[in-house]
Chain A
């Protein structure tokens, strides 16, 4: 099982054993990562699963879809070049060692 490290807003880190085939959002929720809410259940509708990824290319992660990009733009806060929506990323064995930073939230 790939190990994925989540950096939470308060500075703490949690490393989880993630299930391949699930989305990054689902696994973050299951492990209670603070700041990942997944309000729309992964339909790319809410952007409450906003994260920043380090070196996505190194882990074989493909490009971002137009839908994901527009939803990120809509959310509007703290968007950077490494912003992604965790519900749009499927976990594969290749993601072992991935570091995910949870985006800051306002409420």
Chain B
């Protein structure tokens, strides 16, 4: 038996291997990963490590001896170059071939590279190695420009500013966090960052990057260092070359299977079909882990559709953003302010006026309650929440 090959050693890959063993799989399981560090948590990179440096005991996904103990072959520094569907094998950079019965593609996403002159002078942040490089460079700078006001860009910007450097965030769209947060919350986040000392230039595209700053449609901004946080793209090249159906990630059905039977995709790279027939690709730890669990069940014989409630967090200095549900198709949003600005909860409703997502700033208890409200097939209407004065605890009791 050739067993199960998992490409990647990130959140999705590691959880899938662990869940396969939890579900009693006795297959040979091999993880092939391009990185050389033991599998680690990515979120601390932008919140901490890029500024403080990578500690010797960085946050591991599993203890170092977990893989051996569970008879999981962890092969680091092994980049897969091709998938051969007919021979059912993968080919690695050093030409080594490995056969599989089932293949799981968990290659994640990587920072988008802007096609502008001088992009080679900009730094991006995806891996521990990137954090190591960035931290060394930040040791000899005073002013930093961050291109892109998305989650990762803002996390780095806040961390660098907290360390005493002058940071300017340049955003092409009129509003920061435009693709991921409801506008009223994004405005509150921006205001809180401005109070904290971050400078924003929005509605402004960067035309070129130089070693001494960035030139924009609105003039030149001086910076000793330029960090690019312009979103991520799915790493689906391997799948595309092999002839799998792709397009904003690798297309998978409800049980996370690609267009070729026996080949699956999970995590950031997977563009999956939801219970309502739409296609979604999420970049979150929750999505990676929950898809990995669902797939492990399927691979152990219990066919499982992926149907978990999405949730996400982003820590930006003193701002804690948390999201539950999918605000993508929201037609109405009601924002409720808490006691101390910027504390806010935004309730998002779909066309039927049912609660579909809750986004919070510095309100973790509300986040947890909203996950309860949105899970288990519960329907909460706008009228119901209104009658409870948007106090979630009251709404959940009645």
List chain A positions with a Cβ less than 8 A from chain B: 26, 29-32, 39-46, 66-67, 69-71, 73-74, 107
Chain A nearest CB from B99 CB (Å) reads 29
Contact (A30, B368) CB under 8 Å given A39-B285, A39-B289, A40-B285: no
Q: Give the nearest-CB partner of A106 in chain B.
A: B22
CB contacts (< 8 Å) of A26 on chain B: these are 59
Give the contact stretch, choosing among B61-69, B109-117, B273-281, B325-333: B61-69
Task: Give 1 or 0 for each of B14-26: 1 = CB within 8 Å of chain A CB.
Answer: 0100010011000
CB contacts (< 8 Å) of B308 on chain A: these are none
Contact (A73, B368) CB under 8 Å given A40-B313, A41-B41: yes
Do residues B368 and A43 form an inter-chain contact, with CB atoms below 8 A?
no
Chain B nearest CB from A33 CB (Å) reads 8
CB contacts (< 8 Å) of B23 on chain A: these are 107
CB contacts (< 8 Å) of A74 on chain B: these are 368-369, 371-372
Cα A107 to Cα B19 with chains together (Å) = 7
Chain B nearest CB from A50 CB (Å) reads 13
- Which of B19, B289, B315 is within 8 Å of A43, CB to CB? B315
- Which of B60, B293, B315, B368 is within 8 Å of A29, CB to CB? B60
Q: Give the nearest-CB partner of B43 in chain A.
A: A41
Query: Could you list some 22 contacts between A and B, CB below 8 A?
Result: A26-B59, A30-B57, A30-B60, A30-B63, A32-B62, A32-B64, A32-B65, A32-B66, A39-B15, A40-B43, A40-B313, A42-B59, A43-B43, A45-B286, A45-B367, A66-B365, A67-B365, A70-B364, A70-B365, A70-B368, A74-B368, A107-B19
CB contacts (< 8 Å) of A71 on chain B: these are 364, 368
User: How many A-B contacts if CB must be within 8 Å?
Assistant: 58
Cα A35 to Cα B294 with chains together (Å) = 19
Q: Give the nearest-CB partner of B290 in chain A.
A: A39
CB contacts (< 8 Å) of A107 on chain B: these are 19, 22-23, 293
Say yes or no: is B311 at the interface (Cβ < 8 Å to chain A): yes
Q: Give the nearest-CB partner of B60 in chain A.
A: A29
Cα A32 to Cα B285 with chains together (Å) = 21
Task: Give 1 or 0 for each of B49-80: 1 = CB within 8 Å of chain A CB.
Answer: 00000000101101111100100000000000
Chain B nearest CB from A53 CB (Å) reads 20
Cα A67 to Cα B364 with chains together (Å) = 5
Other A-B contacts than A41-B44, A70-B368, A74-B371, 7 sampled, CB-CB below 8 A, are A31-B63, A32-B63, A45-B322, A66-B365, A67-B368, A70-B365, A74-B369
CB contacts (< 8 Å) of A44 on chain B: these are 364
Chain B nearest CB from A90 CB (Å) reads 15
Do residues B63 and A43 form an inter-chain contact, with CB atoms below 8 A?
no
Cα A73 to Cα B371 with chains together (Å) = 11
Q: Give the nearest-CB partner of B393 in chain A.
A: A70
CB contacts (< 8 Å) of B19 on chain A: these are 107
Chain B nearest CB from A61 CB (Å) reads 20
CB contacts (< 8 Å) of A42 on chain B: these are 59
CB contacts (< 8 Å) of A66 on chain B: these are 364-365
CB contacts (< 8 Å) of B22 on chain A: these are 107
Cα A74 to Cα B163 with chains together (Å) = 35
Q: Give the nearest-CB partner of A44 in chain B.
A: B364
Do residues A45 and B311 form an inter-chain contact, with CB atoms below 8 A?
yes
Cα A43 to Cα B17 with chains together (Å) = 23
Chain B nearest CB from A8 CB (Å) reads 13
Chain A nearest CB from B86 CB (Å) reads 35
Chain A nearest CB from B301 CB (Å) reads 15
CB contacts (< 8 Å) of B57 on chain A: these are 30
